[in-house]
Structure formats: structure tokens, C-alpha cells
Structure 1
């Protein structure tokens, strides 16, 4: 797939699917496949796994490969497939990114290495080596709140210029000045995705290619529809949906993602709401807020209890 074509294919709502676990913390692959099918049936434009919402840092490399392989086979080319392949370890990231290519993924999303706090030149060398190791498109993933370092717009532009297969960046970055500068320096044909729920609509307005929103785990149809309305020129409709979704977006981040999303999916009967340690389900108070919000969106019935 030509990289310019990939830029057009990877537009819209890319759903960052959670990884369901059983009570013994083993992966529930049956529920995982059901979630992917539900996402596609609900109109999500692409599927991503083993990103932040998928709890990849709690998995072994072998488990991540298994999750990626299962997702790739389940998607089966119905929509583009974009696994997260980044880790805090360079060699492991190389391994997972090459594995993504070998299993037939349409692209790979690579997070800024967390905990290490590399400088900008080190980040450039890391990402360039990853991009040079494969022939599939790469989408960078900048989430400074989790990684403790920001991938600067100038660094992204340098990578985009030197690596033709780096086609975009997911910006889980509340600095809206920064995300504007990404398109300024990289060009407006560079794919910019919002990873901040309240910025999904504003990023479309400045030329973004879509969003990779954790809220899609709970309301995939609405999150996809936000992009559909914008793309169709229904600006008022997109604005209305932006504000309509705010309460749900807020409650899904009352605790560390994906704990609230998994709690919500548990109440919706989609999964058993288990997380791997060191994460855990939210407090009873937050669970109550989640239940009340789901009721207000008619995502659950009154008989659902905490």
C-alpha cells in the first residue's frame, strides 16, 4: 500500500480496543473478538489494539504478539488494522513492529518510550530506526502525560521528512498550540489524530485526520459519527455531538484509563471488568458515577447494579 494511499485509508475513528481479562488475569480472547466485531459493526473506521487502552505494559511480548495476531485475523481486512507496537525497550519495539508487518497489519502505532525520558535527538534516532526496519506505515504516538517527555513538532517534522512511511501522529496532548504546530511544520497532508476526547472535534477543525478515542470502547457509533458528520460537512451536527459526548468523555477519565471504560463495558454486559495489576477497578463512588452516566446515555437499563 502506497504511503499516500495509507493517509487516506487511515481517516476517521480508529477504535483503541481494550484487552478483556478473566478473573485470573488471563486474556479472554473470545470476548476480545466479540469486541472487535462489535466495533466494526458499529461503524468504527479502523481498529487498534495494544495501545494505552489495551494495557500493553502489563503483558509479555509474547502475549502482545498473540493479541495482535488474534486481532489481525478477526479484523480480516474489513477495516484497516493498526496495532500499537511501542515499548520502553528499543529492541522489543523493533520486534513487535516487524511482527505487525509479518502478520499483515496495515500500519503500526509506536508510542514515545515511557519512563526513559529520552531527548529529542534520541527520540529521532529511535523512531527512524523503527521506521527503517519495516515497509508498513508508522503512526507516532505522543502522550506526554504517560511518557514524561513531549515529542516536539520539529522532531515530528524531521521524522516525516526523513521517513516516508511515517504518515501521522496520535496526539494525546492537551497543548493545542503544539498540535497546531505539528500540521504547520509537517504539512497539512500529515495525519493528525486526537487522543484527547475533548479535542476530537477541534482537531478535525484544524485539519486532523480523525481520532483514536478511548470513548469508542463504550460508544463506538457516536465516536465514528462525529467524524462522519464533519466529513459530510454537517458542522452543526458535529458540534452538537461534540457537546453531547462531553459527560461520557469526562466520566471515562475519572480514573486511569482503561479502568472506567472496562467498568462501563462490564455494566453493558460486554466483558468481565477485570484489569491486570497494578491497575484495578475504580472506587464505588466512581462506579456510581459511571452507572448514572451510562443510564443518561441509555447505554444500560435501570436494573444494572454496581
Structure 2
């Protein structure tokens, strides 16, 4: 049986869910994508994820998702752990993408609770177990009830962690803080708990979480990474300070559906051409102005004002 302790010891801190940049014709801008990953690594990000919620996976074809994973893997080149999102509302597609992530060389795969289907707990157990059993790559379950219309119960996750040695953790985009406390109680304190809710990134560290997958890290990767570094160094005061410093930006970046505000911000910073594929679009002009004002407060250099 494969030993997953090494990757469990490395996979922690700020895992940035890098957005997928598009050109004006809505083709993927792979050169810009690689530059975004370099921007993350230059600013201390601890691991990279792609084709998760922030990467607009439902707007990508299966082939595009594979190419995004392949490009990210080559760009990262082993410098930090690589954890692509491989989940889908379609079970067979999830299987193919997770196997492809393993083939490409990803360190782990993040698999979302299937959206739209509203599967019962038994079906969710079968789905995740079938995926996990088909690969040796470690699996991080991704629970985001606000976008999937289904919450993976703690008991279901605990059974999966017991039955599938390669299910090593969970990203909880779950505002129910009692729920996330019970994850570590039922799954064990060595189970990897990541926050997917920006305002809970610091609190989850306090209960035994190992990091976060925060869309805000696309914009201010340094501050998000520093908050985790401070916590791991035992500098609680600095971690708390950075938690509150990030709060205003966290708030404004989630006044519309992720990743639209993040892409607007990165466009203002000159990092990308701010395009989304329909049925998603940029935020209203009013919100874009608020994002611009917030970035100015943080001293972010803007190329397009």
C-alpha cells in the first residue's frame, strides 16, 4: 500500500486556485496562464491548484482541462505541490480527468461533490470511492454546498477516509463551522482540512486545519501566504493581523460570483485580459469601481484604472 505521509507533510499552507485566463476570442491564454503561476511562486504560494471553481471548469471542454493541467504541471516543474481539480457533475468524466491528472504527474487531485445532481449520501460515497479506487494519486474531496446544492455529511466523509487510504483530506467551502470541527473529530486529526471560505482561512488553522484554497490569493498571494507562514511559525499575532487585513478584499471579491471579481481585479493589475466565457461575465461597473477602490487601499499597482 502506498505511503501518503510525505505528500501529507508537504501539502499545506496557501494553495492558490489559479484562474483560467482567456483571450478576447475566448481561447485559453496559455502564456498568460504560465505567467500567473510564476507570479504565485514568486510571492511565496505553497501549492497550486487549477481547474477548480476559480478556474471555470464548467466553461472548459474536457480536452481544455487536460491541457490546462499539463501546462500547469510543466510550469510548476516540481517547485511546489500541484493539485488540479478533476471533478465534474459527470462520473465518467471525473474518472477520466482524475486518471489523467495522475498520468500527468500531479501530486494530488481535488474532486468536487458533483453539482446539480443533488445526489444522496450513498451515491456520493459510491462516487468518491469508485474514483479513489481507480487511482493511486491522493484525493482531496471538495465540499462546496453553496454551489453544488448538496452537503457531503461528516459521517460520509469519515467512512470514505476509513475505506480509501488515498482520500487524505478535504477542502471545506462550508460556512457551517460546527461541521468543519466535526470533520477532524470524525476523520482524525491527521486528515488534511483546507478552508475554501476566505473568512474562515485563519479560524480553520486554529482548530487544526493545514491551509486554505483561497481565490483571494490570485490577487494578493504574498499576504495570504504570509498569514499561513506566521501561523506555522507560531506568530499568532501576525497571523491574526493579516487575517483582518485581508478581510475587506475578501469581502469585495465575493460580492459577485467567483471568479468574476477576481478576473476584474487581475485585469486592473495588468495580469490578464479580463474575459469570462458565458454564461459568466464581469461584475457590474459599480462593483468594478468598488474593487478598484479597494485595490488602491491595499496599495496594489493598477495598470488599467
In the TM superposition, 1:217-228 aligns within 5 A as: 217-228=218-229
Deviation at 1:2, TM superposition (A): 2.7
In the TM superposition, 1:87-236 aligns within 5 A as: 87-236=88-237
1:141-186: CA deviation from partner (whole Å, max 9, x where unpaired): 0000000000011111000000000000000000000000000100
- Give the TM-score normalised by the residue count of structure 2: 0.99
In the TM superposition, 1:11-26 aligns within 5 A as: 11-26=12-27
**Residue in 1 that maps onto 2:79:** 78
In the TM superposition, 1:259-298 aligns within 5 A as: 259-298=260-299
**Displaced runs of 4 or more, over 3 A:** none
Structure 1: distance between partners of 2:10 and 2:238: 23
Deviation at 1:4, TM superposition (A): 1.5
Structure 1: give runs of 5+ residues left out of the alignment: none
Structure 2: distance between partners of 1:3 and 1:136: 9
Structure 1: distance between partners of 2:226 and 2:194: 16
Structure 2: distance between partners of 1:226 and 1:163: 32
Deviation at 1:295, TM superposition (A): 0.1
Structure 2: distance between partners of 1:268 and 1:108: 30
Structure 2: distance between partners of 1:147 and 1:112: 7
**Residue in 2 that maps onto 1:6:** 7
1:9-49: CA deviation from partner (whole Å, max 9, x where unpaired): 11100010000001111000000000001101110000000
Deviation at 1:7, TM superposition (A): 1.1
Structure 2: distance between partners of 1:24 and 1:263: 17
- Contact persistence 2:82–2:108 (CA under 8 A): yes
**Residue in 2 that maps onto 1:250:** 251
Structure 1: distance between partners of 2:228 and 2:266: 23
- Contact persistence 2:270–2:304 (CA under 8 A): no
Q: Secondary structure at the match of 2:110?
A: strand
Structure 1: distance between partners of 2:209 and 2:227: 13
Deviation at 1:304, TM superposition (A): 3.8
Structure 2: distance between partners of 1:241 and 1:222: 7
Q: Secondary structure at the match of 1:253?
A: coil
Structure 2: distance between partners of 1:271 and 1:104: 27
**Residue in 2 that maps onto 1:37:** 38
Let me know the Cα RMSD of the aligned residues.
Answer: 0.8
Deviation at 1:300, TM superposition (A): 2.4
Structure 2: distance between partners of 1:94 and 1:226: 35
Q: Secondary structure at the match of 1:139?
A: strand
Structure 1: distance between partners of 2:170 and 2:84: 14
Structure 1: distance between partners of 2:250 and 2:283: 16
Structure 2: distance between partners of 1:186 and 1:225: 28
Structure 1: distance between partners of 2:159 and 2:112: 17
- Contact persistence 2:267–2:304 (CA under 8 A): no
Q: Secondary structure at the match of 1:110?
A: strand
